[in-house]
A and B are shown apart, each in its own frame.
Chain A
Amino acid sequence: MNSLKTMKKSTRSNLVTYGIVIGFYVVMQLLVSGGMLSNSMQGMLVPICTYVVLAVSLNLTVGILGELSLGHAGFMSAGAFSGAVFWVIAGVNMPAPLGLALAMLIGGVVAGVFGFVIGIPVLRLRGDYLAIVTLAFGEIIKNVLNAIYLGWDSNGLHFSLSDSAALNLEEGGEVIINGAIGITGMKKASTFTAGIILVLLTLFVVLNLVNSRAGRAIMSIRDNRIAAEATGINVTKYKLMAFITSAFLAGMAGVLYALNMSALAARKFDYNTSILVLVFVVLGGIGNIRGSIIAAAVLYVLPEMLRGLNDYRMLIYAIILIVVMIFNQSPQVVAWRAQVWEKLSTIGFFQKLAKLKKQSKGEA
């Protein structure tokens, strides 16, 4: 316990974050093995991990680097398709964990390359302009993937932008990406365990990056670009570093998502997906990694929980989003919360809580 106290605040806070994820994993595994989790909820475990990774990685761009990106789904799809193609061609014949890991690595690298290529022109822009251009790139990636036909036979890979017949596959050749229909008939590979490992890996990369020399340089650009330059920080280099890391992780999340389904189509990775992830980041707190995890998990499951409300589902969902936003961000409500907290802390039970809260303050 003593060593826990002398530990650096940031280290302790990070351990709590890892703890939350591992705790979630253990509880879910217990619920599944006890048969207490409905089928639809079980089906959501991998997507939850996907969206947690997406939210944490987007937070690296939005919260840590301080640049608004609306094209996160584009990186996700670039990773998803490249990883899935690898899986169909080679991964299926490997042991599942190895195939999945390699597919993720390939998806991450491809998305990272996209991040680099897009980042060079895009990161010269700031604010709204950057948001608009990233949005456009996300849509471009989606539309290009919609038009791609890819197949393979004994001669190797065949590629076309017109239709599957133009691939000229020989007898026994297989179409992998069939234009807007995408990839079909995939063998699933993603598991909840793999998802949690990816979440932990993402946290490891992002949290360690933030608490290092490079991470400080990235944050200094967010806080004051002009001062960062005057202090000798290579702004372009560190902006790209954050952007590429963010894209790499989104690509890996895309593979996790793709290999959880038997069919993969590009239209799933549209503007709405990018915005959804951004909503998780904003509501969890910009720059707050732990908040992103919780917001992504809760807000992803919420529509499912509200299914009983039928037609009013999305209305209630929207209202909840607004209320959470006001509760977290509005200065008046934040002040009111502090007042209520003060009053409550005269009562014995809440006094203990207040002590705990004080200890964890400033760690978020």
Chain B
Amino acid sequence: MALLEVMNVGIAFGGLQAVAQLDMKIEKGHLYGLIGPNGAGKTTVFNLLTGVYRPTEGDIILDGKNITGNAPAKINQAGIARTFQNIRLFDQMTVLDNVKIGLHNQIKYSMWTGIFRLPGFKDKEQQMEYQAMKLLKIFDLDKEANLPASSLPYGKQRKLEIARALATNPKLLLLDEPAAGMNPSESEELMNTIKFVQKEFDVAILLIEHDMNFVMGICEYIYVLDYGRIIAQGTGESIRNNPKVIAAYLGGD
């Protein structure tokens, strides 16, 4: 059975059908791409999958559990983590604390343990620190651990967002334009990091990206969205030569 099954999902805002008849299947541990022209509804799909929007029709099944209409926090706990197109970090908190927030549901102790420093506090905090630093090291952010997140350069902020999402121990990771605003060498490096993460954490990844070299470079399977509908799907090669996709991007009939 697939890790994530999206069945006939759609959402309408008033009279506008933003996404319709969406069917997707994502297998455990594989890398998927979601592409499409501007305004095709890619981010809306992410918002549907993560509970920001409630679908007006259809079902979303994660690992055999129906998560349709669940709140975002619950969906994250069920195993879907995401990053945002316009970076959303906890700006005033340190880089390390950002990742510790990601570990919130992985390493737990109560408020009272925190306030009164009851036994277990030190131990749990050390575990958190250790795991957070391990993640930061993977993304080459360990030297900036104690800086405020807002002080990081753009590319590193994107990486920190991925690190924070991974800290929640997801089964499926959604990346919304991870390479946006990066120069070719940075996005090359990010590509390697994403591949590494996919293997190391055995996590399925679905990413939105406009940089075609990036998408073709790492995605094993690609969905193409236009006007809220899937118009094509398949491997990079088949997508590249699909006349429907070419028409959607370049216009024509």
Contacts and interface: CB of A to CB of B under 8 A. Distances in A.
Contact of A217 (B50, B91, B101, B164): B101
B111 A212 contact: yes
A231 B76 contact: yes
Give the residue among A208, A224, A228, A241 with the most B Cβ atoms within 10 A.
Answer: A224
Interface in B47-95: 50, 52, 71-73, 76-77, 81-82, 84, 88-93
Given A213-B108, A213-B109, A232 B168 contact: yes
A330 interface: no
A230 B50 contact: yes
A305 to B, nearest CB: 35
B118 to A, nearest CB: 11
Interface SS, A side: helix
B241 to A, nearest CB: 36
Given A219-B92, A231-B104, A214 B168 contact: no
B143 to A, nearest CB: 16
A105 to B, nearest CB: 16
Interface string A208-239: 11011111110110111011111111110000
B102 interface: yes
Contacts of A212: 109, 111, 113-115, 121
Contacts of B165: 231
B115 A232 contact: no
A215 B114 contact: yes
A205 interface: yes
Contacts of B104: 213, 216-217, 231-233
A230 B93 contact: no
Nearest to A225: B88
B19 to A, nearest CB: 19
B114 A214 contact: yes
A209 B114 contact: yes
Contacts of B107: 213
A241 B111 CA distance: 9
Contacts of A226: 52, 72, 84, 88
Contacts of B105: 232
A119 to B, nearest CB: 15
A216 B76 contact: no
Given A208-B115, A209-B115, A214-B111, A233 B88 contact: no
B209 interface: no
Contacts of A204: 115
A206 to B, nearest CB: 9
Contact of B111 (A9, A209, A232): A209
Contacts of B117: 208
A224 B116 contact: no
B97 A231 contact: no
Contact of A208 (B91, B93, B116, B146): B116
Interface in A226-258: 226-235, 241
A205 B115 contact: yes
Contacts of B116: 208
Contacts of B52: 226, 230
Contacts of B71: 229
A234 B72 CA distance: 9
B168 A220 contact: no
Contact of B101 (A209, A228, A234): A228
B72 A230 contact: yes
B229 interface: no
Nearest to A227: B88
Given A208-B116, A231-B168, A220 B90 contact: yes
Contacts of A217: 101, 104
Contacts of A227: 84, 88-90
B97 A232 contact: no
Interface string B130-171: 000000000000000010000000000000000011001000
A211 B156 CA distance: 25
A226 B47 CA distance: 11
B42 interface: no
Give the residue among A208, A212, A214 with the most B Cβ atoms within 10 A.
Answer: A212
Given A212-B115, A223-B91, A227-B90, 12 more contacts: A204-B115, A208-B115, A220-B90, A223-B93, A229-B71, A229-B76, A231-B81, A231-B102, A232-B77, A232-B105, A233-B104, A235-B73
Can you list the 9 inter-chain pairs with the closest CB atoms, starting with the nearest?
Answer: A212-B114, A232-B76, A223-B90, A227-B88, A229-B72, A214-B111, A220-B101, A232-B105, A220-B90
Interface of B: 50, 52, 71-73, 76-77, 81-82, 84, 88-93, 97, 100-102, 104-105, 107-111, 113-117, 121, 124, 128, 146, 164-165, 168
